[in-house]
Amino acid sequence: MRTPQEDDAPGSGAAHDRPLTFIDLFSGCGGFSLGLEWAGLRCLAAIDFNESAIETFRRNHPEVPVALVKDLTKFAPKELDAALGSERVDVIVGGPPCQGFSKARQVGGSNHGERLVYDPRRELFREFLKYVAYYQPKVFVMENVPGMRSAAGGAFFTAVQVDSRELGYRVIPYEVQAWRFGVPQKRIRQLIIGTRRELPLFIPDRYIRETHVDLGEPEPKGKQSAVTLGEAIGDLPDLTSGDERFIRTYDLAARKEHVKRYGKRYLYDVLKAHKAKQLLGHTSRPHSDRDLRDFRRLREGETSRAALARGVEMEFPYDREHFKDRYTRQHRDQLCSTIVAHLKKDGLMFIHPTQARSLTPREAARIQSFPDCWRRLRFDPLVRIVPTEN
């Protein structure tokens, strides 16, 4: 275990002379790191077992000295220490895989209920805490899905907090509604925030300030209206199903009209669209003629369940009792549904508001607030930047 350095002592000015440093565990392609860098922190290292994710991380975080493809169940903190040298780690962040807790995996009681199915990924929070125990950071932030609270009757949610307290940390669970921070989707995430006992108590209401209101809510001073799907993707060129060209040009006339309607707060301030030289990953996967006909039958913002209820004849072959919501056309003036990994496979729950196709990888990236200059390798699917689960 590293010994806390003198600059951690209350009243010491040394820590204020440099940006806080952090390491990103289970980093994926680097979305967590991107947010912290925007907040002024400096990333020292990122680790993930997925080679494609780390390739993407390196491409978009070239200033980070260490980005490793490693299995954290086999890669010890001391090994990372050899690469970091004398660098002090102030913060550790990470999102252990969430599939083991997701409420989307309830069939047969896989994550919830009496017939809980064993999933080793639920234990990976312990690998995260090994690094906390070794580096003794001032703060750690672990991110997962809200289902972590209830999976296995809350046993893992409790274990994370108990184990963290044994390491000398005060622990605060905090649930984040992403749209209240300017993200245009219905994403909810569970944070577990730990601070060392000798530091001031972390009070979420004091340190975490929501920046946006919910749709339809009044806008108090200092807060903005929610970012809608239309604001996030409305300037992008129209596509037909099956147009899989990876590189294309922006429609600058459409962008001009878009800015007139929505302003620059998301398109420029977050997505940095004006800094991207080419539009990448705005590719539309092919759909069957049957699916395309069903897409056109849906009104904007409507699910197949609602369409069937109003008497529309749909052609899809799936069980009408269990898959009534399988087709969903998103609405421009609402939040997008939470982006999920299986969007890459079919996208039927992510039909474009006005076009007969599912959302593109670039649209999925924008909905998650990745800038337009965020890139994958030329021939690899950009959609790999989306989360691994609901």
Q: What is the pLDDT of residues 120-170, one digit of tens each?
A: 456 788 899 999 999 999 999 999 877 777 665 677 778 888 999 999 999
Q: Which residue has the higher pLDDT, 129 or 389?
A: 129
pLDDT band at 84; cut points 50, 70, 90: very high
Query: What's the pLDDT score for residue 134?
Result: 96
CATH 3.90.120.10 residue ranges of the chain are 227-390
pLDDT exceeds cutoff 90 at 286: yes
18-207: CATH, from 3.40.50.2000, 3.30.1200.10, 3.40.50.150, 3.30.360.10: 3.40.50.150
In eight-state DSSP terms, residue 12 is: -
Specify whether 336 is catalytic.
no
pLDDT exceeds cutoff 70 at 14: no
Does the domain at residues 227-390 carry the CATH identifier 3.40.50.1820?
no
Cβ contacts of 313 within 8 Å, gap of 6 or more: 297
| 161 within 8 A of 173, measured Cβ to Cβ | yes
Beta-carbon-side half-sphere exposure of residue 130 (alpha carbons within 13 Å): 17
Query: What's the pLDDT score for residue 280?
Result: 94
Q: Rounded to whole angstroms, how far apart are CA atoms 299 and 120?
A: 42
At residue 193, the 3 state secondary structure works out as: strand
Q: Which amino acid is at 161?
A: Q
Element (H, E) at 101: none
- Give the predicted TM-score (pTM) of the model: 0.85
CATH 3.40.50.150 residue ranges of the chain are 18-207
Catalytic residue among 43, 98, 336, 373: 98
Q: Which amino acid is at 137?
A: P
Rg for the chain (alpha carbons), in Å? 22
**Backbone φ and ψ of 374, nearest 5°:** -70, 125
CA distances from 376 to 226, 348, 365 (A): 29, 24, 11
- In this structure, is the dihedral angle defined by the CA atoms of residues 224, 61, 191 and 152, taken in order, positive or negative? positive
Element (H, E) at 345: none
Q: Rounded to whole angstroms, how far apart are CA atoms 59 and 6?
A: 35
Q: Rounded to whole angstroms, how far apart are CA atoms 42 and 27?
A: 15
Instruction: Provide the β-strand partners of residue 222.
Output: none
Instruction: Give me 132's structure tokens.
Output: 């906390």
